[in-house]
Amino acid sequence: MEPLGDWRRTHWSSEITPALDGTTVTVCGWVHRIRDLGRLVFIVLRDREGVVQITIPKDKVPEHTFEKAKKLIREDVIAVRGKVRFYEKAPNNVEIIANEIRILNKVSPPLPLDPAGDVDADLDTRLNARIIDLRRPQTFAIFRINHIVLQSIREFLTNEGFIEVNTPKIIATATEGGTALFPVSYFGRQAFLAQSPQLYKEELTAALEKVFEIGPVFRAEEHNTTRHLCELVMVDLECAFATADDVMNILERLIAHVFREVKSKCSKELKILNREDLEVPGTPFPRYTYTQVLELLREHGIEIPWGEDLPTPALRKLGEILKGPYFITEWPTESKPFYIKPKDEDPKVSESFDFMWGWLELASGGTRIHNKELLIKRLKEQGLNPKSFEYHLRVFDWGMPPHAGWGLGLARLLMVICNVRNIRECVLFPRDKSRLVP
């Protein structure tokens, strides 16, 4: 092993082009492939951005450089300084003739995965060796797109006048009733990991008016599905002086903006993922009421009693009928959390929506109740104790504006953009019932 010393990368591998012919460069990365032809060694060096061929001919490079090249194996970490040479037969018509090599670290074989391998390993093997998996272009592409998605969400919402906030993840009471919480011990007291920033973001509308948060939430999901994890990143938004319609409008424009940005900034990644067919969805997205959706399902042979949630087989069927993005609005009040506003003229139905993409729910939202008495009534109707919401309810005495908002699952959005089936592909280190490491 040798120190990095004063060597710094001058170029990413992808920046080494024939135009640099004759220039001395320093590249850093991993030994992607190595071919030893006796008096000539070829290394394919890989960094985050791609690969470049390093050529080490015995009679043209210093003796110690040639000796070092001979010792290398796949995934060793190296830095190479040498001269760029235009060479038609090399990949990208360019190679680097190594003058000096620094071996920065050696691997300990065998490696559980081969990033240069053409055979796809199964998901568990890949997740168990996620760091190596991320060296594969297909995996990295998803997370580069994730980065652009996050960046474009922040950009869009900032331009719309929203302020990014961070709310506590260790909380004293359940947000939405007793579902699926992780208890934590907090200096001898019982606390929980937050399942949503719902109550905090609502309270914040009474001061900051328009807020959003991008952060982790925790749900003790019992079942292993391809769309549920126990730790997920939610994009949450809440807006004062607005209704469900207003925030649906923001959401669909946000989604179109994100797609537009990904399409223009991630063409390389979309190609790697065979997703060049990605289209920016036209707005407004179709809207169907819950009752209309039940009728649609009935026409296709699925009978669901009014008031019930849509079970997975019904969602699957819906995905066959309705492709792409759409909203399901006006859900039964009973099927939604206590803070969702019932319609004034028909309280059985609520001012709520789910944002869907085919069969997959991407977001839920609605107009919230801002009247304290009604909120207490709804809490009780849902079997919750207003006492445990004391701190939250107090804020409703301090001038709570009418407000509305939504929560969007980041990884589910990524599933749609990247066209992958399992949410675990879209989270670096996914947490499910059986997976707590790595």
Interface with ligand ATP (CB under 6 A): 219, 221, 228-229, 232, 234, 361-364, 407, 409, 411-412, 423
**Nearer Cβ to ligand ATP (54/363):** 363
Short-list 229, 250, 267, CA closest to 144: 267
Cβ 328 to ligand ATP, closest distance in Å? 11
**Encoding tokens for residue 315?**
């969602």
Q: Which listed option, ligand ATP, Mn ion, none, makes contact with residue 256 (CB within 5 to 8 Å by class)? A: none
- Per CB under 5 A, the segment of 47-55, 200-208, 237-245, 361-369 that binds Mn ion is 361-369
CA gap 173, 191 in Å, rounded: 7
Compose the 305-344 pattern: x for residues touching Mn ion by CB under 5 A, - for all others: ----------------------------------------
Cβ 389 to ligand ATP, closest distance in Å? 18
CA gap 230, 204 in Å, rounded: 26
| By the rule CB under 5 A, 350 interacts with Mn ion | no
Residue nearest to ligand ATP (CB): 409
Q: How far is CA 423 from CA 174, 185, 280, 356, in A?
A: 25, 29, 22, 16
* Catalytic (active-site) positions: 219, 221, 227-228, 361, 364, 412
Cβ 362 to ligand ATP, closest distance in Å? 5
- Burial of residue 119, with CB atoms counted within 10 A of its CB: 0-12 exposed, 13-18 middle, 19 or more buried: exposed
| By the rule CB under 5 A, 196 interacts with Mn ion | no
- Per CB under 5 A, the segment of 8-16, 115-123, 223-231, 363-371 that binds Mn ion is 363-371
The DSSP code sequence of 88-106 is TTSGGGEEEEEEEEEEEE-
Q: How far is CA 395 from CA 205, 264, 366, in A?
A: 11, 44, 20
**Nearer Cβ to Mn ion (178/301):** 178
Cβ 387 to ligand ATP, closest distance in Å? 24
CB-based contact 233:411 (threshold 8 Å): yes
Q: Which listed option, Mn ion, ligand ATP, none, makes contact with residue 221 (CB within 5 to 8 Å by class)? A: ligand ATP
Interface residue with Mn ion, options 196, 329, 364, 367 (CB under 5 A): 364
Cβ 34 to ligand ATP, closest distance in Å? 41
Instruction: Outline where DSSP puts E strands in 223-375.
Output: 231-240, 287-289, 325-329, 352-357, 360-367
CA gap 330, 342 in Å, rounded: 9
Q: Which listed option, Mn ion, ligand ATP, none, makes contact with residue 228 (CB within 5 to 8 Å by class)? A: ligand ATP
- Per CB under 5 A, the segment of 51-59, 156-164, 330-338, 362-370 that binds Mn ion is 362-370
**Nearer Cβ to ligand ATP (104/310):** 310
Cβ 312 to ligand ATP, closest distance in Å? 9
CA gap 22, 190 in Å, rounded: 67
**Nearer Cβ to Mn ion (236/269):** 236
CA gap 144, 146 in Å, rounded: 5
Short-list 362, 370, 359, CA closest to 408: 362
Contacting positions for Mn ion (CB under 5 A) = 364
